[in-house]
Amino acid sequence: MKLRREVRGGLAGLLAICLASSPSHALVTLNDSHDHIRVNGSFSVSRDSNIFASADNAGDFVYSTGLSASYQRRAGWIGVNASVSMGASRFGTHTTENFSNPSYSLELTKQSGRTTGSFTLSAARESRADAAVNFRTDSWNYNAGLNFKYPIKNRSTLTGGLSYSGRFYADSISLSNLATYSSNLDFIYMLPRERDLVAGYRYRYSATSRDSAYTDHSLTAGINGKLIFGLNGGIRAGVQSRIPQGSAANQGTFSSWSGSGSIAYPINRKLSLGATVAKDFSTTATDSSVDSLTASLDAKYAYSRKWSLSANAGWGDSYFLGEKGRVILAVNPLQLGPNRHEQFVNWGANLGYARSEHFTLSLSYSWFQNWSTTSFSDFIRTTWSLSLSSGW
């Protein structure tokens, strides 16, 4: 498939600017280097074999561009991080899926004094292939959070936070909007040899546009810092429960174990390995409760200052809980739960080249397969992508 004229022009212009650029730390520096403004532009072309994440296996070429600007201030007690960006994608054949998505974020941080913490706000429009409903969705996502850290005495510290997240779909007739409010409180005790013992409680309340609601309680404990055999990171596990309310009250209470972990292992200066695991309840776009377990491995190798290689692999297992939900597709109705069970495996690789901080080039490939008790959700998805970016 031939690139469109505007795509060829945009690619050529970005490449010329990148090659002609000279080293610099920021586009604009103000207030005795306390304020920095940075701008980043990107272009990518990709081939997606399954743009709807379904058994239909509809593929297409996707041409994407992005432009972002960020502001950073480090002066006084309060630090500021702010950004605004615009991303746009055009499909070669499925032009009705074209989108332009803006995003905004603001973070205020306090890093000095006895009590430290941050306040965050963000809003972003998102277009994606949702594997839980097997078609593309468009939504506005809003987030707000307040986090704090307070040292009690000697080796003890108290941390916690309040947060809100909202996902509101453009197609609010067949999809369920979701608003989530949560709070958490953790007690941290410093152990010898750069280790911390952590124990905490999380409360989460989720409400949907279908008059259903879910209250989650989670108690976990674990360890952060230096683990064993040169491993660094954090692992915590515990128990959780979900109590459906409103129109979902007849589903009964769900109980399970919960946990999360992230581990890094630097083999040498060039090669590092990492692993993550997560187990939690969630709510899909069709108001289905899901109990999911995911795990991933990644490896990063810095061949030189300019060339790098990375690879990753993952696995996931999801049980759809509660009563049957229904979402109407173009032709066929898709039954969602109960007793719907899915598993997936994926792997990918990325080759990166950085001529300078102003010019980076990457070539990536990913493979994803999903197995489901719902036949329409059985699919394979492969994607390769070539990306250019320039930062100032």
Q: What is the pLDDT of residues 176-185, one digit of tens each?
A: 999 999 999 9
Query: Do 106 and 121 meet the contact criterion of CB atoms below 8 Å apart?
Result: yes
For the cut 70, the answer to whether the pLDDT of residue 17 exceeds it is no
Q: What is the pLDDT of residues 380-392, one digit of tens each?
A: 999 999 999 999 8
Q: What is the pTM of this model?
A: 0.88
Which residues form the domain of 300? 72-84+105-391
Give me the DSSP letters along 185-207. Answer: EEEEEEETTTEEEEEEEEEEEEE
For the cut 60, the answer to whether the pLDDT of residue 280 exceeds it is yes
Instruction: Specify the CATH number for the domain of residue 330.
Output: 2.40.170.20
225 in any annotated domain: yes
65 in any annotated domain: no
181 in any annotated domain: yes
| Total number of domains constituting the chain | 1
Region of residue 233 (phi > 0: left; psi between -120 and 50: alpha; otherwise: beta): left
76 alpha carbon, distance to own chain's centre: 31
135 in any annotated domain: yes
Q: Please, which residues have CB within 8 angstroms of residue 153's CB and are 6 or more apart in sequence? A: none
317 in any annotated domain: yes
Overall average pLDDT of the 85-99 stretch: 97
d(Cα 287, Cα 298) in Å, to the nearest integer?
Answer: 32
The whole-chain average pLDDT of the chain stands at 89
Q: Please, which residues have CB within 8 angstroms of residue 99's CB and are 6 or more apart in sequence? A: 88, 89, 125, 127, 138
Question: What pLDDT is attached to residue 354?
Answer: 94
Other beta carbons less than 10 A from residue 210's beta carbon = 16
- Ranges 107-116, 274-283, 292-301: which has the least confidence: 107-116
90 in any annotated domain: no
Q: Which three-class secondary structure state does DSSP give residue 375?
A: helix
d(Cα 381, Cα 49) in Å, to the nearest integer?
Answer: 6
356 in any annotated domain: yes
53 in any annotated domain: no
Question: What pLDDT is attached to residue 8?
Answer: 53
Q: What is the pLDDT of residues 39-70, one digit of tens each?
A: 999 999 999 999 999 999 999 999 999 999 99
Q: What is the pLDDT of residues 96-141, one digit of tens each?
A: 999 999 999 999 999 888 999 999 999 999 999 999 899 999 999 9
- Based on the number of CB atoms within 10 Å of its own CB, is 20 exposed (0-12), middle (13-18) or buried (19 or more)? exposed
Overall average pLDDT of the 70-98 stretch: 95
Overall average pLDDT of the 353-367 stretch: 93
Residue % of the chain over a pLDDT of 90: 77
